Amino acid sequence: MAPQFPPETARAAWLRERIAQLDHAYYVLDEPLASDADYDRLMRELQALETAHPQLRSPDSPTQRVGGAARADLAPAPHEVPMLSLNNALDDAEAEAFDARVRAALGTDAPAYCCELKFDGLAISLRYRDGVLERAATRGDGLVGEDVTANVRTIRALPLRLSAAAPPLLEVRGEVLMLRSAFERLNAQQREQGAREFANPRNAAAGSLRQLDAAVTARRRLHFFAYGVPDGAGAASQSELLARLQRYGLPVCEHHAVVQGIAGLRRFYEDIAARRDALPYEIDGVVFKVDDFALQQRLGALARAPRWAVARKFPPREARTRVLDIDVQVGRTGAITPVARLEPVVVGGVVVSNATLHNEDEVHRKDIRIGDTVVVRRAGDVIPEVLGSIAELRPADARPFVMPPSCPVCGSRIVREAEEVIARCSGGLACPAQRKQALLHFAGRRALDIDGLGDKLIEQLVDAGIVEHPAGLFGLDAQRLQRLERMGDKSIAKLLAAIEAARSTSLERFLYALGMRHVGETTARDLARHFGSFAALAAASEEELLRVPDVGPVVAHAIREFLDQPRNRAEIDALLAVLQPLAPPPPVTGTQSLAGASFVLTGSLPNLSREQATALIEAAGGKVVAAVSRKTRYVVAGAEAGSKLVKAQELGVEILDEAGLQALLAGDPGQNAPPTSPSGAT
């Protein structure tokens, strides 16, 4: 016997389904099925029902697209499968080189490619559980984004519930963007309110998506296109996946095609380039992907980008304008960069008023003078760049640029070492400009990760003389922070908690946070693993530094030069008095029994961080990869493991919990038969 539901339950279910149909028809298909008045009547009826019967309100209800109080922050949202970026092909030769690499690797003459548009928006990851939108996260740094679920719910082109054809757990990758019509309407509203206009649709979309109040996002009328799923959702190819996403109810851009070989890539690129300005949204190129997923797996990926895809960018857009002045900016390492102050001009849809001139030699090589008419472009449609001056339009009073003898911020002498093209301020941390940038780098997510310590707060701290050096951050207290603008009790408590947590950090993060020239994250990690302690690193000669993998003479000299400066050593000593940089986990002794074995980590382990688990596996000869495949030897699953665990179970990959991993590392095979579903796993 079928269950009997109260009439209000059935009516609410019908209203939710009907409104979802109308939203899809209006925002995705551009085929309105009802008048605005009829739509509003249905929405008001559903709102009234849910108000009278709160138990009827569900996460996938259209009434929940805007709701709740404004949040105080955007929480971090880790990606189980990293959101990779794409390598760029800026001309035909680079596109042909991409095709040649694919053909050589696959041993075929004309592989099939799926061609799509490269939207000028913001990459997003959506997680649907049992068909209902559960989480939305920005790309962030590819590993950790920001939770924007409440804001994404306001995008009416996006279904809050998928069709019954969708799998129980689905992560969708796509792009949030703003249509040109919505952008023009938004800027018209900004002008009417006397507010600042947005420079381009991408900036407007990014700013709208990251609003703390979802009601603001809802008014901005964002759009969405789906284009990927990390595990393929059972499809055999990208083109098949796009069709599946449409069947699930997700909006997919109609402009995609499967073509053969380089000739097909050229035709698609030229066709879209000719239609670019007629599209209802901004794009900055097209994307070529090897269509077959099995072939994608064979091609693999680099650290930040797949080998099986490339973004074929459109030529940068150019415009003429006049140089009003040339002054200099001071960077974190003291680098002095000439900057052209331009008569504002629109370049590729963006108002450009400043453009970097890179260095003194570049200014003279291009013969750019104050008063010149110059050609400006946005390289890759992003970075403003001065291509050169137009000699025949040069006025008689045009003035050449002269590098100032002293820093415009602190007055210290500007020096330029022999054989270097970059001039630098000699003030070091005594220079407020360098101090601010050094503090911002020190507190950054990939350094000491002091949440809440952004550029505006650092500017206040430095300008007020409260903090002059990184070590001074650890002496902050509530009394001094209360004197600063926009620092309430909650913000202060959160910041002080983040500073306290940063006292215990890894050695590699500490080394990266110091901001030594040429020492990025990878080099900092290699130094930490090689020396094991800061004291050992500080005592190392250049010859000893050269024994570290990938450290060459230039890097070794820069490290030694940084550590030999008394001012830097004094600052490091002050930091070591308040910090506890932990050495990397000790290498596993014995034979490399895991040599060649690939591991995938998912979920949270009870005692090991992901970095520690990775280090232990690598020390034993294994390697950690991002995605589960038939070649994966082990999946190490902790609490809240997700789709990777499901994929491992489907493929029959051996699953370990933390105890099983430790037993495997210790060489005890009798202990590595873990449960197939760790606590909290799905």
Residues noted as catalytic: 118
Q: Which two tokens stand for residue 463?
A: 């300008």
Q: CA 429, 477, 212: angle at the middle one, nearest 5?
A: 90
237, β-bridge pairs: 292
Long-range contacts of 628-634 (CB under 8 A, 24+ apart): 628/231, 628/600, 628/653, 629/297, 631/598, 632/598, 632/599, 632/600, 633/597, 633/598, 633/599, 634/597, 634/598, 634/599, 634/600, 634/661, 634/664
List phi, psi (to 5°) of 250.
-90, 145
Residues in the chain: 682
Task: For residues 669 and 666, give the distance between their C-alpha atoms in angstroms, rounded to a whole number.
Answer: 9
Contact 257, 247 (CB under 8 A): no
Contact 309, 289 (CB under 8 A): yes
List phi, psi (to 5°) of 527.
-65, -45
DSSP string over 60-115: T-GGGGS-SPPPS---EEE-SS------EE-SHHHHHHHHHHHHHHHT-SS-EEEE
Residue 47 Cα distances to 24, 66, 521, 546, 647, angstroms: 19, 12, 51, 68, 39
Q: CA 444, 446, 448: angle at the middle one, nearest 5?
A: 60
Q: Which two tokens stand for residue 415?
A: 């020096």
Residue 144 Cα distances to 602, 625, 646, angstroms: 14, 16, 21
Task: For residues 33 and 21, give the distance between their C-alpha atoms in angstroms, rounded to a whole number.
Answer: 9
With a CB cutoff of 8 Å and minimum separation 6, the contacts of 330 are 336, 407, 408, 409, 425, 431, 433, 434
